[in-house]
Chains A and B, each alone.
Chain A
């Protein structure tokens, strides 16, 4: 099959493939330091009229540097060319389909960026007195109330900067809750399918981790879970749907069992995109949840961040939330308040505010009806892809998935020696971002696809066709997959050398 021949009567030139992006060759871009020419400059500053004294008249000589720290010296033109060229060496959602499982790389609406750049939002100092930030406080109150409705919770903090920060905040809330009841609990239960942040956060929260196995259904092993429960257990951290893309059907029974021993349930919101308007963590029995606004609510991920990880809680945990938080005053104005037994501040200011403004914009555009549509189509897309590729890349669990599907390359590897990593690298040549590979850890040769709701049927078909072609190729010329990718700005990189001969800065080169 060639590029143009698509199955199922769909049109050619599907939208999701970025294989057509033009490149002017594949030489390395020099670093900004290599482009630097002493004496060249780009900066221009306002005329202030303020008389200037040399710093040597103001500060002790022992504190002053002999020379300013060397930056780079470039013209504005070279600056623009350099970073534009770097941008051309970077894949992104705006370029093409990005089915990176667990990361919810959906299209990021531009209106949200526009709102985040508005004067009156972007230019506000975080220490401005409350009467002069009524808009920001009102926005935060609306977002908190909205997130509580979506998750079925009572109150929320908007401070955590990302999912992991939300997790740690949630675990500190758990400690505060148990302490207030005069209890010391030492253990957190975490399924073996969980994201690595869960156990890492639990350790920083002062807890020991007990790992709960997954059963043959791909779900939490209920008997093993029950056997681990006692009054040492502070709580359990669950992702639902879990990282295998499956809904934990026993959640009501799990919740009852954990609550029975006095533990709390923590919901890792990484996969919230599957259930908007369908089912709410609060209704499942969860007590604490973080959301990844940069996943579910489409705030762009910026090449690794920023995110935002608000934490919402049930009524019994609300008094421990971080503060200060925005609140509605009795007279209808807005102000700050700190919950009665707050664990304290978890951010230097009020959270990643401009990310919060983007998320609220996204939520308001969608509304109650649109949010449900998001999840329906995310799940529809994932299942369509699952079934379409099942004959050559079978799902790890043969059943309906939620918003993402984990397939296994075990058979492919046995037959051809081609690994999940090779498939991922070869897919890059096809103009798609790779799926998440080798996660969850419990699935052999895992490839995790999360198409998201913003990808079209044509894109899904194109992705499936590429995968089909790759699997065929593996059977005939497996070496071509080991050699992939060949058309990208660089080919496979020597990671061992990077770690062995560490060069983390321009100045570390020998």
Chain B
């Protein structure tokens, strides 16, 4: 079967002869024979591209994607419009098949695109510095906590229960290595209440999501005041789309702003590759994780871009590095810059406004169904809305799936007990829903009719 190696049998013979050996087996003479694989790997033989494509199509046919199902699922991953122009530019092979821009003379394309991306993310965060991307929102939060602990020199982290549950779980996992002391702060009526926490061990870091996982905008001024009281650094996990119309977290005193950049041109992708957004104040720049692109000039004085402040990074600083990140999500960052430029100032604000209105309309309509209510009726939903149904959420979602709807996320299946401070009696009956700018009135009306049937 042909593959992607170009060698003809004659060339292989010629190359072996040049090396003075008889066969390919001798290439591996340094590997003790007793360790070598005898008889080949227990895998099928190679298949042609069309045959493999058929096999992968068979997998794809067994999934409910957002192009055939109407998607009301959000919770950090959203079904946004991605126009043909963004797909076309983002799939240019110069961007797709390049490595990390270690040779700036032949990598100005990626470097400048990252510079533009950094500018956009810094503006949305309301902070002067944004890095060249991290893996995803969860990892950005891990890195933010690491930075802020180092910056405050205190390992106690007050973590809002309203932050994305998966991100909090990821922070907990990595805290096993760093020995950070993560203290959870509960939500009261959807907003974080830090008042009951034991402050005898002052926090070095306070983390809040805004809008949080339940779609509630937090009181960031109060969080800043609390940080000042304890001398803590303020970390905000912000929704990047809503950031265009809300006062930026940076302008309200955040030291670090992180987010999930998937809404900027990356498909739902079953959760990855996504895009970890990371921005911080100038004071923290020596602790910045990951790569940073800066502007400079070349030998002829022409503008040029290059990765900078490299002495922070693992390949130079090794065990004293600020982070172990090497590969990041550059392609998604380039795509984000393209998608944002396509939207423009007005388009991004329009998307944010439309998402809010679509989710508001959805919330208004579902609550016309008997037995269906909002978990937090006192808040206008920003981005997501938590809906309480009279039956088990998983059953309701299964029934909606049969009608062609991805009805949202069953809170119980994605969280651990205590997450989000939801009444234990309600947890199994709460669905997190979201409607983006792609949802039409007719889709929402049809969905509400299907939901009305699914809850009886």
A complexed with B: yes
Taking a contact as CB atoms under 8 Å apart, the answer to whether A70 and B123 are in contact is: yes
Tell me, yes or no, whether B157 is within 8 Å of chain A by CB: no
Q: Per-residue CB proximity of B276-317 to A under 8 Å, as 1/0?
A: 000000000100000111111111101111101110011111
Q: Which residue of B lies closest to A54 (CB)?
A: B353
Distance in angstroms between the alpha carbons of A100 and B338 in the assembled complex: 28
Of B110, B138, B245, B318, which contacts A348 at CB under 8 A? Answer: B138
What 0/1 pattern do residues 68 to 99 of B give for CB contact below 8 A with A? 11010101110101010100110111111111
A383 in the interface (beta carbon within 8 A): yes
Q: By the criterion of a CB under 8 Å from any partner CB, how many residues of chain B are at the interface?
A: 211
Task: Report if A31-B112 is in contact (Cβ < 8 Å); known contacts: A53-B357, A69-B124, A348-B166.
Answer: yes
A95 at the A/B interface (Cβ < 8 Å)?
yes
Q: Which residue of chain B has its CB nearest to the CB of A322?
A: B173
Nearest CB of A to B412, in Å: 12
Report whether A138 and B59 are in contact in the complex, using a CB–CB cutoff of 8 Å.
yes
A495 at the interface (CB under 8 A from B): yes
Question: CB of B425 within 8 A of chain A?
Answer: no
Nearest Cβ on chain B to A57's Cβ, whole angstroms: 9
Contact string against A for B residues 122-164, beta-carbon threshold 8 Å, 1 for contact and 0 otherwise: 1110001110110111110000001000000000000000001
The answer to whether A41 touches B68 (Cβ under 8 A) is no
Check A205 for interface membership: any CB of B closer than 8 A: yes
**Cβ A122 vs Cβ B245 within 8 A:** no
B267 contact from A58, A82, A122, A499, Cβ within 8 A: A122
B59–chain A nearest beta-carbon distance, Å: 4
Whole-angstrom distance from the CB of A220 to the nearest CB of chain B?
14
Interface string of B423-456 (1 = CB under 8 A from A): 0000000000000011111101000000000000
- Is A357 part of the contact surface with B, judged by Cβ < 8 Å? yes
Residues of A within 8 A of B68 (CB): 119-120
Is A79 on the interface with B (CB-CB < 8 A)? yes
Cβ proximity bits A36-47 to B, threshold 8 Å, 1 near / 0 not: 000011111111
Closest-by-CB residue of B relative to A277 is B41
Evaluate contact between B52 and A42: CB separation under 8 angstroms.
Answer: no
The CA of A125 and the CA of B274, in the complex, are separated in Å by 12
Answer whether residue A55 sits at the interface, using C-beta atoms and an 8 A cutoff: yes
| B308 contacts A367, C-beta separation under 8 Å | no
Query: Nearest-CB distance from A441 to chain B (Å)?
Result: 9
Q: Once the chains bind, are B99 and A103 in contact (CB under 8 Å)?
A: yes
Binds A, one of B2-10, B223-231, B366-374: B2-10
Question: Cβ of A12 < 8 Å from any Cβ of B?
Answer: no
Q: Are A507 and B344 in contact (CB under 8 A)?
A: no
Chain B positions within 8 Å of A402 at CB level: 30
Contact of B112 among A29, A79, A93, A126 (CB under 8 A): A29
Of the candidates B99, B118, B320, B323, the one whose C-beta lies within 8 Å of that of A100 is B99
A87 within 8 A of B: yes
The contact of B89 among A26, A79, A150, A303, by CB within 8 Å, is A79
**CB within 8 Å of A: which B32-62 residues:** 32, 34-37, 40-49, 52-53, 55-62
Q: Are B438 and A46 in contact (CB under 8 A)?
A: yes
When the two chains form the complex, which single residue of A93, A98, A278, A388 contacts B37, counting CB atoms closer than 8 Å? A278
Q: Could you tell me the distance between the alpha carbons of A128 and B176 in the complex, rounded to whole angstroms?
A: 29
B406 at interface, CB cutoff 8 A: yes
Task: Choose the segment among A225-233, A245-253, A404-412, A471-479 that binds chain B (4+ C-beta atoms closer than 8 Å).
Answer: A245-253
Q: In the complex, are the beta carbons of A68 and B73 less than 8 A apart? A: no
Q: Which of B145-194 contact A (CB under 8 A)?
A: 146, 164, 166-167, 169-170, 172-174, 176-179
In the bound assembly, the distance between CA atoms of A347 and B139 in angstroms comes to 7
A383 to B128, CA, bound (A): 48
Closest chain-A Cβ to B219's Cβ sits at a distance in Å of 9
How far is B12's CA from A381's CA once the two chains are assembled, in angstroms?
A: 10
User: Could you tell me if A354 and B269 are in contact, using CB atoms closer than 8 angstroms?
Assistant: yes
Contact of A372 among B14, B41, B305, B318 (CB under 8 A): B41
Complex: chain A residue closest to B92, CB-CB: A87
Which parts of B329-345 form the interface with A (CB within 8 Å)? 329-332, 334, 337-338, 340-345
Is B19 in contact with A384, judged by CB distance below 8 angstroms?
yes
Measured CA separation A150–B430 after assembly (Å): 43
A347 CB to closest chain B CB (Å) equals 6
Q: Which residue of B lies closest to A489 (CB)?
A: B108
- The verdict on A272 contacting chain B, using a C-beta distance below 8 Å, is no
Q: Which range holds the interface residue count of chain A?
A: 35 or more
Q: Which of B94, B272, B299 contacts A90 (CB 8 A)?
A: B94
Q: Which residue of B lies closest to A499 (CB)?
A: B308
Q: Is the CB of B135 within 8 A of A347?
A: yes
The reply to whether B41 and A129 form a contact with Cβ atoms under 8 Å apart is no
A111 at the interface (CB under 8 A from B): yes
Q: Is there contact, CB below 8 Å, between B4 and A305?
A: no
Q: Is the CB of A122 within 8 A of B65?
A: yes
Q: Is the CB of A121 within 8 A of B270?
A: yes
* B202 within 8 Å of A (CB atoms): no
A284 CA / B35 CA spacing, docked (Å): 6
Tell me if A492 and B295 are in contact (CB < 8 A).
Answer: no
A71/B382 contact (C-beta < 8 A), A89-B112, A135-B61, A368-B43 known = no
Given the known interface contacts A68-B245, A161-B273, A492-B105, the answer about A83 and B92 at a Cβ–Cβ threshold of 8 Å is yes
CB neighbours (8 Å) of A283 from chain B are 35, 37
Min CB–CB distance A357 → chain B (angstroms)? 7
Residue pair A91, B315 in contact (C-beta under 8 Å): no
Query: Whose C-beta in chain A lies nearest to the C-beta of B25?
Result: A376
Residue B27 is within 8 A (CB to CB) of chain A in the complex = yes
Does B24 contact A495, Cβ atoms closer than 8 Å?
A: no
Q: Type the 1/0 row for A411-454, where 1 means its CB is closer than 8 Å to any CB of B.
A: 00000000000001100100001101001000000000000011
Cβ of A149 within 8 Å of any chain B Cβ, yes or no, is yes
Min CB gap A45→B, angstroms: 6
Confirm or deny: A332 has a beta carbon within 8 angstroms of a beta carbon on chain B: no
Asked if B377 is an interface residue, CB under 8 A from chain A, the answer is no
Is the pair B345, A69 in contact by a Cβ cutoff of 8 Å?
A: yes
Verify B135–A161 contact, CB threshold 8 A.
yes
| Chain B residues positioned under 8 Å from A380 (CB to CB) | 7, 12, 15-16, 19, 24, 27
Contact of B294 among A369, A434, A503, A507 (CB under 8 A): A503
Whether A165 is near chain B, meaning CB under 8 Å from some CB there, is yes
A350 close to B (CB within 8 Å): yes
- Complex Cα gap A103–B285 (Å): 28
Interface status of B418 (Cβ within 8 A of chain A): no
Could you tell me the distance between the alpha carbons of A227 and B281 in the complex, rounded to whole angstroms?
Answer: 46
CA A364 to CA B394, docked complex, whole Å? 35
With a cutoff of 8 Å between Cβ atoms, the chain B residues found around residue A214 in the complex are none
B398, CB-defined interface residue at 8 Å = yes
In the complex, are the beta carbons of B344 and A72 less than 8 A apart? yes
Q: How far is the CA of A183 from the CA of B249 in the complex (A)?
A: 44
Query: Please, what's the 1-or-0 string for A111-125, where 1 marks a CB less than 8 Å from any CB in chain B?
Result: 101110011111111
Taking a contact as CB atoms under 8 Å apart, the answer to whether A122 and B135 are in contact is: no
Q: Mark B97-115, 1 if CB is under 8 A from A, else 0.
A: 1111111111111101101
Would you give 6 A-B contacts (Cβ < 8 Å), ordered by A?
A: A69-B248, A120-B68, A129-B410, A162-B328, A379-B28, A453-B4
In the A-B complex, the 3 residue pairs with the closest CB atoms: A349-B271, A302-B331, A120-B60
Q: Give 15 new A-B contacts, CB below 8 A, not counting A83-B338, A89-B112, A343-B176.
A: A68-B244, A71-B244, A84-B89, A86-B109, A106-B4, A111-B53, A128-B406, A164-B325, A276-B41, A294-B327, A302-B332, A305-B329, A400-B19, A424-B103, A485-B106
